[in-house]
Amino acid sequence: MRIPDEIADRSARRERSELPGSDAGRDETAAERIDRNLRELMEELRVAIIGVQVLFGFLLALPFTDRFAEIDTWQRDLYAADLMLAALAIALLIAPVAYHRLVFRRHAKRRLLFRANAMSIAGLCVMGVAICASVFLVTSVIYSGAVAAILAVACGVVIFGLWLLLPGSSAEPEEY
């Protein structure tokens, strides 16, 4: 029995990477890998987008509370900067979805994947700063400036440690 050329060509293009940290053991073509990576990225964005939208909703509602009138000028400036950071994070995290819709069926998935990844990382970084600014804003109403600043810095250390340093560390187990 003869294997059709299309199936034989596809099998020949499949790669199995043996590099550490690679997709070792996956039997997929480059196109299948891009599809999988894009699908995984879009699933991850769903989680991040919900988080930043909740933060943005909180920030949008804040000026309509009674205590908002009591905050200092610098706190108002911090609030405005924080609101804009949350809006920018939303824009960066939703941008890959819009990009995907605009290049749909234009054979641009590889370019989409790399640009979407960059926008997602930038969006997560901006979201982390917006979270820290929100913590600083709220704690500055409750505590003195020094305590509020310490809490905001601690928040930043935890967020950026978990989001950037830990994934970038090479301390991975040999096997699962």
Tell me whether residue 91 is in a domain: yes
The count of domains in the chain is: 1
Mean of the per-residue pLDDT values for the chain?
Answer: 84
**How far from the centroid of its chain's Cα atoms is residue 10's Cα?**
33
Q: What pLDDT sits at residue 97?
A: 86
76 pLDDT above the threshold of 50: yes
Under 8 Å between Cβ of 163 and 146: no
Of the candidates 92, 86, 88, the one whose C-alpha atom is nearest the C-alpha of residue 137 is: 86
**Beta bridge pairs of residue 28:** 15
Q: Which amino acid is at 78?
A: L
Q: Could you tell me the pLDDT band of residue 4, with boundaries at 50, 70 and 90?
A: low
Tell me whether residue 21 is in a domain: no
**How far from the centroid of its chain's Cα atoms is residue 90's Cα?**
10
Tell me whether residue 96 is in a domain: yes
- Report the C-alpha gap between 110 and 112 in whole angstroms: 5
Tell me whether residue 148 is in a domain: yes
Tell me whether residue 138 is in a domain: yes
Tell me whether residue 4 is in a domain: no
Q: pLDDT tens for residues 22-59?
A: 555 577 888 888 888 888 888 888 889 899 999 999 99
Tell me whether residue 159 is in a domain: yes
Quote the pTM value: 0.78
Which tokens hold the place of 32?
């299948």
Task: Give the range of the structural domain holding residue 121, as residue numbers without chain letter.
Answer: 32-167
Tell me whether residue 45 is in a domain: yes
DSSP state of 85: H
Q: pLDDT tens for residues 85-98?
A: 999 999 999 998 88
